[in-house]
Amino acid sequence: MRHTRTGWWLEEAGAVTPTAPLDGDARADVVVVGGGYLGLWTAWQLKELEPGLDVLVLEAAVCGHGPSGRNGGFCETLWGDATTLREQAGDSAALAVCRASENAVRGIGAWCETQGVDAWFREAPMLRVATTESQLGSWAESVRAAAELGAPEEIVAVSAEEVRARCASPLFLGGALHRLNATVHPARLGLGLRAKLLERGVRIHERTEVTRLDRDGGVGTRSGHVRAGAVVLAVNTAAAGFPGYRLSLAVASSHIVLTEPLPDVLDELGWTGGEAIVDSRTLVHYTRTTRDGRIVFGWGGGTMGVGGRASSRLELDRGVVAATREALGRFFPQTRGHEVTHAWGGPIDVSPSHLPIFGSRGRVHHGYGFTGNGVGPSFLGGEILARLALDRRDKWTRLALVDPPRRLFPPEPLRYAGGALIRRALVAKDAAEDEGREPNAPTRFVASLPRRLGLHLPR
Ligand SMILES: Cc1cc2nc3c(=O)[nH]c(=O)nc-3n(C[C@H](O)[C@H](O)[C@H](O)COP(=O)(O)OP(=O)(O)OC[C@H]3O[C@@H](n4cnc5c(N)ncnc54)[C@H](O)[C@@H]3O)c2cc1C
C-alpha cells in the first residue's frame, strides 16, 4: 500500500508543471487567494460575468493539489442540511439554498460536458445507511424536512432490502436515498478547471503564499504585493491563520483507502449503479466506486488540527488509516483477499453550523467551512463570491449562506483540548455502537457536546 500525502487521484490525473511564482508587484481587477475548487470556480464565474476582467490567482502550492484533488469525490447537494437551514433562516430561505445546491451539482456536470473535461462525473443517488441498530431512523429529520419544504422526493427512507439491492453489504440495515448526487474524479476536475482558466487568460501564480490581506484590496506575499479592486479568500482551513478568521472555523481531518480494481466484487455486491454511500455514525464512513472498478473508502475520524491549523503530519496518520482499512473489511468482507493499493488524508474546515459560510469584510470576500461537503457547494460558492467581488447583489448574494449570524469556536487552548476530548468520546461511542453496546454515560455526554453546540462533525 502506498501511503502518501496527496493520494491516488492526483497520480492518476498526471503531473502538471507549476506556473511561475509571483515575482515582485502586480495589479489585477480581482485577486483570488487559493487555487482549490472554491478559488478556481470563483475565477471561472468572474470571467463568465465579465469576460474582460483581469483575474489573478495566487496559490501557495499547485492548484488542485489540496483537498480539492484528493477528496472522496462525493458531489452532493445541501439537502442533508435542510433541518439546520430551516432553523437558521426559515423555510423559504432553506428551500432556496437547497435548490441552488442542486443547480451546482448539475452545473458541474454541464461544465464538464461543455468544456470537454472528463472528470468521471456520474450522476446517481446517494444512500445514507444504518450499519447498527442505533443508526436506524437517524435520517427521519432530513426526510421530514424535505417533505415539509415541498420536496418529498429529495430524501426518501428505504428498507434494508432496497438498500441491499443497490449494494449488498451485510452491514446495511436500512437507509435513506438522496435523489440528486454525483461522483467525480476530484483531481481531474481540479486540474481541468486550472487548465481551462489558463486557456481563458486568467493569470495563475503557483508556489506563491499570501501572507497578508489588506482591507483596501491588496495582498502581500513573501516577495511582492498585489493591488486589486477586490480580494477573494478561498484557502480552506488556512483561513484560520488570517486575523479576524481565527475562531470562525475548526480543523478536523478525513482519510481514504483505495482498493485495486475488483469488478467481480462489485458484481457480487450488485453495486454497479454508481451510488455514493455514507453511514450514519457521527464520524462517518463513506464509500463509492470508481470508473475503473475500485472501491474508495473513507473515514472522517482523523485527528483535529492544532491552533486552527492543519498539522503537517495529519495526512500520514498510520493509526487512522489502519482503522479505515479495518472498516473497509467489515463493510465489504469480499475485499479481504484483495489489495489496498493507496491511502491518504487531508484537513477539513469545520464551520459551527456544518454549512459553508460566504461573506465580505471590506474588499475581502471569503468562503470557508464546507465541513466535508465542498465538491458540489464550492461551485455555488464561486457563483456567490464572484458576485460579491463585483459588488453585484442578486438571488445568489441573498442566499442564507451569505453573512449568516456570526458564531465562533472557543479560543485555544480550549478548542484543541476540547476537540481532542470530543473526538476520543465520539470514537468510543461509535465503537460501542458497532459492537451493539450502549456507550457509558460520560462518553455519551461528551459525544453529545458538538450537537449541543450546533457542531455537526464532517466526513
Ligand atoms: C480526504 C478528504 C475527503 C473528502 N471527501 C469529500 C467528498 O467526498 N465530498 C465533498 O464534497 N467534500 C469532500 N472533502 C472536502 C473537500 O475536499 C473540500 O471541501 C473542498 O476541496 C474545498 O475546496 P477549497 O477550494 O475550499 O479548498 P482547497 O482544495 O484546500 O484549496 C485551497 C487552496 O488554498 C491554498 N492556500 C492555502 N493557504 C494559502 C495562502 N496563504 N496563499 C495562497 N494559497 C493558499 C492551498 O494550497 C489550496 O490549494 C474531503 C476532504 C478530504 C481531505
Per-residue pLDDT, 458:
44
Distance 6 CA to ligand 1 centre (A): 12
Q: Answer whether residue 305 shows pLDDT above 70.
A: no
Whether 381 lines ligand 1, by a CB cut-off of 6 Å, is no
Give the CA distances from residue 146 to residues 72, 91, 157, 243, 300, in Å, rounded to whole numbers and listed in that order.
25, 10, 11, 38, 25
* Confidence band for 310, pLDDT divided at 50, 70 and 90: low
End-to-end alpha-carbon separation of the chain, Å? Answer: 22
Distance 390 CA to ligand 1 centre (A): 24
Nearest Cα residue to 233 out of 413, 358, 409, 416: 358
Rounded Cα distance between 340 and 65, Å, is: 22
Residue 21 identity = P
For ligand 1, atom 33: residue with the closest CA = 34
Rounded Cα distance between 365 and 345, Å, is: 28
Distance 357 CA to ligand 1 centre (A): 14
* Confidence band for 25, pLDDT divided at 50, 70 and 90: very high
- Residue of 316 and 35 predicted with greater confidence: 35
Whether 314 lines ligand 1, by a CB cut-off of 6 Å, is no
* pLDDT tens column, 122-146: 999 999 999 999 999 999 999 999 9
* Confidence band for 437, pLDDT divided at 50, 70 and 90: confident
Q: Answer whether residue 306 shows pLDDT above 60.
A: no
Instruction: Sort residue 71 into left (φ over 0), alpha (ψ -120 to 50) or beta.
Output: beta
Q: If 0-12 CB within 10 Å is exposed, 13-18 middle and 19+ buried, where does residue 259 land?
A: buried
Please list, in sequence order, all residues whose beta carbon lies within 8 angstroms of the beta carbon of residue 317, skipping any fewer than 6 positions away. Answer: 253, 255, 302, 303, 345
Rounded Cα distance between 19 and 206, Å, is: 5
Rounded Cα distance between 208 and 21, Å, is: 5
Whether 210 lines ligand 1, by a CB cut-off of 6 Å, is yes
Per-residue pLDDT, 122:
98
Q: Which of 305-319, 371-385, 428-442 has the highest mean pLDDT?
A: 371-385
Q: Give the angle 387-388-390 at the CA atoms, nearest 5°.
A: 65
Rounded Cα distance between 126 and 105, Å, is: 13
- Residue of 189 and 354 predicted with greater confidence: 189
Whether 69 lines ligand 1, by a CB cut-off of 6 Å, is no
User: What is the mean predicted confidence (pLDDT) over 357-370?
Assistant: 96
Q: Output phi, psi for 156, to 5 deg.
A: -125, 130
Rounded Cα distance between 214 and 191, Å, is: 29
Whether 458 lines ligand 1, by a CB cut-off of 6 Å, is no
User: What is the mean predicted confidence (pLDDT) over 240-261?
Assistant: 91
User: What is the mean predicted confidence (pLDDT) over 381-390?
Assistant: 98
The answer to whether 252 and 457 are in contact (CB under 8 A) is yes
Whether 80 lines ligand 1, by a CB cut-off of 6 Å, is no
For ligand 1, atom 16: residue with the closest CA = 374
Whether 324 lines ligand 1, by a CB cut-off of 6 Å, is no
User: What is the mean predicted confidence (pLDDT) over 86-102?
Assistant: 97
Asked if residue 413 has a cis previous peptide bond (ω within 30° of 0), the answer is: yes
**Look-up of cell digits 460520560:** 442
What 3-state DSSP class applies to 21? coil
Locate the ligand 1 atom nearest the alpha carbon of residue 288 and give its number: 8
Q: Ligand 1, residues 235, 287, 312: which to mutate, most atoms within 8 A of Cβ?
A: 235
* pLDDT tens column, 27-69: 999 999 999 999 999 999 999 999 999 999 999 999 999 999 9
Please list, in sequence order, all residues whose beta carbon lies within 8 angstroms of the beta carbon of residue 326, skipping any fewer than 6 positions away. Answer: none
Computed from CA positions of residues 22, 25, 29, 32, in that sequence, does the dihedral angle turn out positive or negative? positive
- Residue of 76 and 318 predicted with greater confidence: 76
Q: Ligand 1, residues 22, 45, 71: which to mutate, most atoms within 8 A of Cβ?
A: 71
Whether 397 lines ligand 1, by a CB cut-off of 6 Å, is no
**Look-up of cell digits 448526487:** 181
Distance 236 CA to ligand 1 centre (A): 5
